Amino acid sequence: MLSISPTISKFSNLSDLRHLNRGRYSRHSLSHLVPPPPSTHIRNTKTLRLRHNFRISAIDAAQPFDYESKISDHIAKSKTLKIAIVGFGNFGQFLAKTLVRQGHTVLAHSRTDYSAVAAEIGVSFYSNADDICEEHPEVILLCTSILSTDKVLRSLPLQRLKRSTLFVDVLSVKEFAKDLFLQILPLDFDILCTHPMFGPESGKNSWKDLPFVYDKVRIGRDESRVSRCEKFLDSFAREGCIMKEMTCAEHDQHAAESQFITHTVGRILEKLDLDSTPINTKGYERLLDLVENTSSDSFELYYGLFMYNKNAMEQLERLDLAFESLKKELFGHLHEVLRKQLFGTKERSLGLLQEPRALSKLPPNGNGSSLPPQSDSAN
């Protein structure tokens, strides 16, 4: 920064000064000044001193304290959140690694002491729920099991949190989580129900093109609260997830038809103790992969999918009905073959042989209620 401060002094009278200001000297001209009058003219006159300050600032000059770096840091921090993960098991650690890499401040709390694991990831671990709540995280991310969520949520000291804290869950059953949040959390808290449709195994290499389902159950209208919710969702969008917004009820209906059936079939095949063979087909390889993926999840998760999704019982009944129908179709063909071998010529001539019935069509999916009993008249 440059500064020019000329001084004008010792004028004989104010008229000389006004003449100077009207003439050669003005605030837009710095070329030269009128020289002072000879000393003989001011011998017995009053001295008048005026000072005019001028500043010239260079726009492109280097700013103090690394200005550009500070601006960059401010922009980066405006996109990050302070997130407290409650339930720091396999899934909580799985999410924490990506959140830390993105620059978020991540805290963690769990019944088990995961302080060593947290330190390796770059997460601050708190064994006491009061301590982590006193850190005033912007987001509470529940990564608990389905069966323990109620107990864990009720144990949190909500009075130590900011009243506008955002609560997020990642449970595989959404209506249960939504109802629990609405029942326990005060009205001041925001609620976002989510379900990453992947886990540590399926998302170990990348989250690209993996579905992420969410429902903005209750988000305040303040710009800061809306922005906070969007920043959290952006943590998954920037990793390439396919973002799907739908209601919790819609999610549970679709999940029963896909996730629960997948886990059920995988666990049925696991009971068969299937082994790889020297002549595996591609289809058989996929079945082995299914067994591996589903068996790596706890039975507690599978039970939660069944217990807390009202649509699961219907799908289980449909699966059982489909299996029985398929067996009847197979045994029906076998019965006809045996009859042909024993009485084929005679019965055919009398017109007693009938074609085996094909697999009957199952009733359509409902809304979670049990299927009506099937009569044997069609069989």
Which pLDDT score, from 0 to 100, does residue 79 have? 84
Report the 10 Å Cβ neighbour count for 242: 14
d(CA 119, CA 49): 69
Using alpha carbons only, how large is the chain's radius of gyration in Å?
A: 38
Burial of residue 142 (number of CB atoms within 10 Å: 0-12, 13-18, 19+) = buried
pLDDT higher than threshold 50 for residue 311: yes
**Residue 63 predicted with pLDDT over 90:** no
| CA atoms within 13 A of residue 203's CA, in its CB half-sphere | 22
**β-strands 211-218, 242-245: how paired?**
parallel
Report pLDDT digits (tens) over 214-258. 999 999 999 999 999 999 999 999 999 999 999 999 999 999 999
Q: Over 90: is that where the pLDDT of 46 sits?
A: no
- Asked if the model's pLDDT at residue 182 lies above 50, the reply is yes
Indicate the range of 40-49, 141-150, 190-199, 284-293 predicted with least confidence: 40-49
For residue 99, which amino acid is it?
Answer: L
pLDDT of res. 35: 60
pLDDT digits (tens, 9 = 90+) for 255-298: 999 999 999 999 999 999 999 999 999 999 999 999 998 998 89
What is the three-state SS of 146-209? CCCHHHHHHHCCHHHCCCCCEEEECCCCHHHHHHHHHHHCCCCCEEEEEEECCCCCCCCCCCCC
Highest mean pLDDT among 179-183, 289-293, 331-335: 179-183
Enumerate the domain spans of the chain. Answer: 2-56, 79-253, 256-307, 320-379
How high is the pLDDT of residue 184?
98
> Percentage of the chain surpassing pLDDT 70?
70
Q: Taking residues 194-199, what's their average pLDDT?
A: 96
- Which pLDDT band, with edges at 50, 70 and 90, does 29 fall under? very low
pLDDT at 379: 44
Q: Give the pLDDT confidence score for residue 36 in this predicted structure.
A: 60
What residues pair up with 328 in beta bridges, in sequence order?
A: none
How is domain 79-253 classified at the architecture level of CATH?
3-Layer(aba) Sandwich (3.40)
The mean-pLDDT minimum among 29-33, 76-80, 298-302, 305-309 falls in 29-33
Look at residue 201 in the predicted model and tell me its pLDDT. Answer: 86
As beta bridge partners, residue 86 has 109, 142
Q: Average pLDDT, whole number, for the chain?
A: 84
Q: What is the mean pLDDT of residues 81-91?
A: 98
Residue 81 DSSP label: -
Helix (H) or strand (E) holding 124: strand 124-126
The confidence band for 57, taking pLDDT boundaries of 50, 70 and 90, is low
Assess contact for 15 and 65: CB atoms under 8 A.
no
Q: What is the pLDDT of residue 77?
A: 55
Q: What pLDDT, on a 0 to 100 scale, did the predictor assign at position 364? A: 72
d(C-alpha 28, C-alpha 202), whole Å: 72
Quote the pLDDT of residue 117. Answer: 98
As given in the structure block, the two tokens for residue 136 are 């005033």
Q: Which of 16-25, 54-63, 75-84, 360-369 has the lowest mean pLDDT?
A: 16-25
Tell whether the model's pLDDT for residue 5 goes beyond 50: no
pLDDT(85) > 70: yes
List 106's β-bridge partners, or say none: 83
Looking at the predicted structure, is the pLDDT value of residue 345 above 50? yes
pLDDT at 228: 99
pTM of the model: 0.71
